[in-house]
Amino acid sequence: MRILVVEDDVQIADMLTEALTNRQYVVDVVQDGKAALDYVETIDYDLILLDITLPKLDGIKFCQQLRNHHFTIPVLILTARDTIADKIMGLDAGADDYMVKPFDLGELMARVRALLRRGSSTAGSKIFWGSLCINPSTYEVTYEELLLNLTPKEYAILELLVSSGRRVLSRPGIIERVWSLEDPPSEETVKSHIKSLRQKLREVGAPDDFIETVHGLGYRLKQF
C-alpha cells in the first residue's frame, strides 16, 4: 500500500513517515498542495494524509481539485483546525475522514486501516496463492502453514506479486510500488530480493519456479 503524506510541518511528517513505514506502508511526503497534485497525477496512491494549512494550494482546495478531476483516492485530513465548521468544510470538500491535531497515533492507524479497507477488497483480508497465505493484518506469510521469515521489503514484493495475479511486474514497476521516491534502489537490488524470496520459499517446500522470470519483462507467480 502506498500513502502520500501532505504536510509542511517537518516533525509531524517525519513522525507519520516512521509510523507508517514501520507498518510496511510505502510513504511519499510533499509539503504543499500543488506538489501533491503533481504526485497524484503520476503515481497511484491508496490513501492521502492531508494537512489543511499548506503553502501554494491549501488542503481544502487540493481536495476540491482532486475530486473535480475524478480521483477517488481516500483522503484523511489531519489538522489543528478543530471547529465544527472546519470539519464540515473539509468533509464537503471531498475528504473521507477528519482528525484534529494533536492526535493519538493508535487511533490514526486504525482510521488508516479502515479507509484502506474501503478502497480495497483485499486490505485486511488474507490473500492466497496456491499453498501460500499472506495475512496483511499481521504481516505473516505461510506456505503449507509453515511460517516464512521475511524482511519488510521481501514481504512487500511478495504481497505485490500475489495481488497482481499473473500480471508481469517489471523491476522498475516493483521499485515504484515498494520503495518511496526518496530512496529508490537499483534494479540489482530487486534481483537480490527476488533471489532471497525464492530461497526462503524453497526452504518451506515451494517449487523452484514459484516466482517465474519472464525474460526481458519481469516477474510473476506460477499458475496453480
Higher-confidence position of 122 and 110: 110
pLDDT in tens, 164-214: 888 899 999 999 888 888 778 999 999 999 999 999 999 999 999 999 999
Q: Are residues 21 and 68 in the same domain?
A: yes
How many other CB atoms sit within 10 Å of the CB of residue 170?
15
Q: What is the mean pLDDT of residues 60-89?
A: 93
Q: Are residues 188 and 172 in the same domain?
A: yes
Q: Are residues 113 and 12 in the same domain?
A: yes
Decide: pTM greater than 0.85: no
Considering its fold, how many domains does the chain have in total? 2
Q: Are residues 99 and 187 in the same domain?
A: no
**214: domain CATH number?**
1.10.10.10
**44: domain CATH number?**
3.40.50.2300
Q: Are residues 138 and 64 in the same domain?
A: no
**What's the mean per-residue pLDDT of the chain?**
91
Which domain does 203 fall in, by range? Answer: 127-221
Q: Are residues 53 and 114 in the same domain?
A: yes
